Amino acid sequence: MRETEIKLDTKDIVIGMYVTRIDRPWLESPFLLQGFLINDEDDKTLLMKNCEYCYVDVARSKVVSKHFHRSDFSTKKQSTFTGNHRKPNVTVFKRKRTYTDNTNSFEELSGVRKNYKTMTSVVKDMMKSLKYSQKLDLEATRIAIKPMVDSIIRNPDALLWLSRLRQLDDYNYAHSLGCSMWCMAMGRQLGLNRNDIESLGLGGLLFDIGKTRISETILSKTELLNDKELLIIQSHVQHSLDIIQKDNKVSVKIRSMIEHHHERVDGSGYPNGLTDQQIPLFAKIAAIADCYDAITSKRSYAEALSSQEAVKKLYEWRGKDFQVELVEEFIQAIGMFPAGSLIELTTGEVAVVVTGSRTRRLRPIIMLLLNTDKSMREDHVICNLMEVTKDEQGKSLNIKQALPAGSFGIKTDDYFL
């Protein structure tokens, strides 16, 4: 328990308190992850319905101090985190700021769409140049990424939505762009400054560029790689470092992302077998973004997982492959159903997630695409699941499951680009 946390029965919760943890696994709750403000009576009722007790962070609560008593706090220094994977007195990062959404997703999408198309063209040109001439010119990339950073800071949903469309037919192009967006969203979640968010975005684009020097035959192989081929794949890290070494504008933080994004906290990664505290923060972020984007994408050797399945996988791998707290922050940043995800409702209808509530992640705003019989709708109705809680038969309307990208032949870029 943190020194500013207290344990309370949910019946004692009042509006304005900031709940940091609950009494059950977050995947079994409607809140997705611990870490939300009690904004109204509905929030309080939902919490009481699902939990007997919770932990409240006094420092992050907006409620007046009369609701808290000095006796609630321990004078002894306690472990910063609890749980099987957590270590005492570990500081993951010091959050210097908390970003709030300054635009809604629709406004942001309208404004950033053109800049995103420019970004995709720049990435494609960069990869082609590396593949055929082995030259790297980052100037255009640096210019193109700046409006992406601004957009992520204002409201991350629009770019996360666009990055899920996969309008680039080459996996490597799309993967680089996707990783860049996930990394920047994570930087925003952690309260990093604008320059650091930009570095994360640029690093996300660059950490796999060494694969342009590896045979496409090996990269697209559908069978298991043999030991020799595995070493060739792993050599992309050094190739990436070789490519960027002549650019003295590439920061140490970006270089760390390139060099260490395949390291794992239990020491099982490569190239150096580093463990938890030896791995730089930006590299840890890159590792999570790289993994999430890969497993939610269709690759030559694996089908795409749904966003829901991918989140569960990340949660399984926390403490082994990835730092526990960073996995939870990443999931908090993107949600169980990120913008752009396909989902199936309990009615059988299929929709795409437009944007989500920052607190009730299981009830996002969606756009309906398919009818209950999976036929294409003639209209594409926007539905806010926070407001629409019943179907036409009066039954509870919920998300049944997330669907992998491309399910039922849906190409979301046909609707949004």
Query: What is the three-state SS of 95-121?
Result: CCCCCCCCCCHHHHHHHHHHHHHHHHH
Report how far residue 390's alpha carbon sits from residue 388's, in angstroms, rounded to the nearest whole number.
6
Report how far residue 175's alpha carbon sits from residue 197's, in angstroms, rounded to the nearest whole number.
18
Same domain flag for 298 and 379 = no
Residue 90 lies in a domain: no
Residue 86 lies in a domain: no
pLDDT above 90: residue 386: no
- Residues contacting residue 68 through CB under 8 Å, at least 6 positions apart: 6, 58
Per-residue model confidence (pLDDT) at position 87: 41
- Range 275-289 average pLDDT: 97
Q: Are 385 and 351 contacting, i.e. CB atoms less than 8 angstroms apart?
A: no
- Range 130-134 average pLDDT: 83
Task: Please report which confidence band the pLDDT of residue 415 belongs to, taking 50, 70 and 90 as the band edges.
Answer: low
The length of the chain in residues reads: 417
Same domain flag for 209 and 65 = no
Same domain flag for 347 and 328 = no
- Highest mean pLDDT among 48-57, 113-122, 144-153, 301-310 belongs to 144-153
CATH number at residue 298: 1.10.3210.10
Q: How many CB atoms neighbour CB 3 within 10 A?
A: 13
Structural domain for 50, as ranges: 5-72
Structure tokens at 316: 């399984």
pLDDT above 80: residue 170: no
Same domain flag for 294 and 146 = yes
- Residues contacting residue 377 through CB under 8 Å, at least 6 positions apart: 368, 369, 370, 371
- Please give the share of the chain, as a percent, with pLDDT higher than 90: 48
Structure tokens at 312: 């569960």
Helix (H, G, I), strand (E, B) or coil at 406: coil
In the chain, how many domains are there?
Answer: 3
- Residue in 259, 289, 282 with CA at minimum distance from that of residue 178: 289
Residue 309 lies in a domain: yes
Residue 59 lies in a domain: yes
Same domain flag for 291 and 373 = no
Report how far residue 416's alpha carbon sits from residue 263's, in angstroms, rounded to the nearest whole number.
36
Please state, rounded to an integer, the average pLDDT across all residues of the chain.
85
Same domain flag for 261 and 315 = yes
- Range 227-234 average pLDDT: 95
Domain stops at, among 334, 353, 385: 334
Structure tokens at 6: 């207290």
Domain stops at, among 56, 72, 88: 72
Same domain flag for 21 and 120 = no
Which DSSP state fits 367? E
Residue 100 lies in a domain: no
Per-residue model confidence (pLDDT) at position 5: 85
Residue 230 lies in a domain: yes
Same domain flag for 355 and 312 = no
pLDDT tens for 72-128 read 444 333 333 333 334 433 445 566 788 988 988 888 988 898 999 999 999 999 998
pLDDT tens for 232-267 read 999 999 999 999 998 888 999 999 999 999 999 999
Domain stops at, among 334, 358, 386: 334
Same domain flag for 115 and 213 = yes
Same domain flag for 319 and 347 = no
Per-residue model confidence (pLDDT) at position 208: 95
Report how far residue 254's alpha carbon sits from residue 248's, in angstroms, rounded to the nearest whole number.
11
Same domain flag for 130 and 18 = no
Per-residue model confidence (pLDDT) at position 265: 96
- Residue in 298, 270, 297 with CA at minimum distance from that of residue 283: 270
Residue 97 lies in a domain: no
Residue 80 lies in a domain: no
Same domain flag for 390 and 322 = no
- Residues contacting residue 350 through CB under 8 Å, at least 6 positions apart: 342, 343, 344, 368, 369, 370, 374, 403, 407, 408, 410
